[in-house]
Amino acid sequence: MTTSVKRDFTQGDLQKHLIAFSTPAIISGLAFQINGVWDAFIVGMFLSASDIAAMTISLNVSFFLFTLLLGFGVASSILIAQSFGKKDKKQTFQLIANSSLLMLTISMIAAILGELFLTRILQLMNTPLEVFQPTYRFLAVYLAGFPAITMLFQFSQIQRALGDATTPFRATIFSIIANMLFSPCFLLGIGPFPELGIGGVALSTVLANICGLIFSCLSSLRAHPEVFAGVRQAHFAPKLMINISKLGLPLGLNQMVLSISVVATTTIVNSYGPIVINGMGVGSRFDSLITQFIMGISSGISTMVAQNIGANQLLRVKETLRIGLRLLLFVMIILAAFFYVTAPYLLRLFSQDPAVLQQAVTYLRYIAVGYIAFGIANVFEGILRAFQKVHLLLFTTLFTAWLCRIPLMVWGGSTFGIVGLWLGICLSFLLSALTLGVITLQLFRRLPQETTKSRLSDDVRA
Residue 461: what pLDDT?
A: 42
pLDDT higher than 60, residue 451: no
Distance CA 231, CA 234 (A): 5
* Most confident of the ranges 126-140, 276-290, 409-423: 409-423
Residue 5: what pLDDT?
A: 60
pLDDT higher than 80, residue 453: no
Residue 2: what pLDDT?
A: 45
Per-residue model confidence as pLDDT tens digits over 335-390: 999 999 999 998 888 778 888 899 999 999 999 999 999 999 999 999 999 999 99
pLDDT higher than 60, residue 455: no
Mean pLDDT of 192-198: 87
Distance CA 67, CA 74 (A): 11
Residue 39: what pLDDT?
A: 80
Per-residue model confidence as pLDDT tens digits over 225-251: 888 778 888 888 889 999 999 999 999
What lies within 8 Å, CB to CB, of 43 at 6+ separation is: 51, 52, 55, 187, 198, 201
Contact 215/166 with Cβ under 8 angstroms? no
More confident residue, 106 or 283: 106
Distance CA 183, CA 197 (A): 9
Residue 62: what pLDDT?
A: 82
Say what angle helices 314-346 and 14-46 make with each other, to 10 degrees: 40
pLDDT higher than 80, residue 55: no
pLDDT higher than 90, residue 63: no
Q: What band does 77 get if pLDDT is binned at 50, 70 and 90?
A: very high
pLDDT higher than 70, residue 428: yes
pLDDT higher than 50, residue 41: yes
Residue 409: what pLDDT?
A: 94
pLDDT higher than 70, residue 133: yes
Residue 452: what pLDDT?
A: 41
Mean pLDDT of 181-194: 89
Residue 61: what pLDDT?
A: 80
Residue 378: what pLDDT?
A: 95
Mean pLDDT of 58-70: 80
Q: What band does 130 get if pLDDT is binned at 50, 70 and 90?
A: confident
How does the average pLDDT of the chain come out, rounded? 87
pLDDT higher than 80, residue 126: no
Report how far apart the first and last C-alpha atoms of the chain are (Å, whole number): 38
Single-letter amino acid code for the residue at 182 = F
Residue 303: what pLDDT?
A: 94
Residue 4: what pLDDT?
A: 56
Residue 448: what pLDDT?
A: 62
Residue 454: what pLDDT?
A: 40
Mean pLDDT of 76-103: 92
What lies within 8 Å, CB to CB, of 295 at 6+ separation is: 25, 26, 29, 378
What lies within 8 Å, CB to CB, of 22 at 6+ separation is: 165, 296, 297, 299, 300
pLDDT higher than 50, residue 158: yes
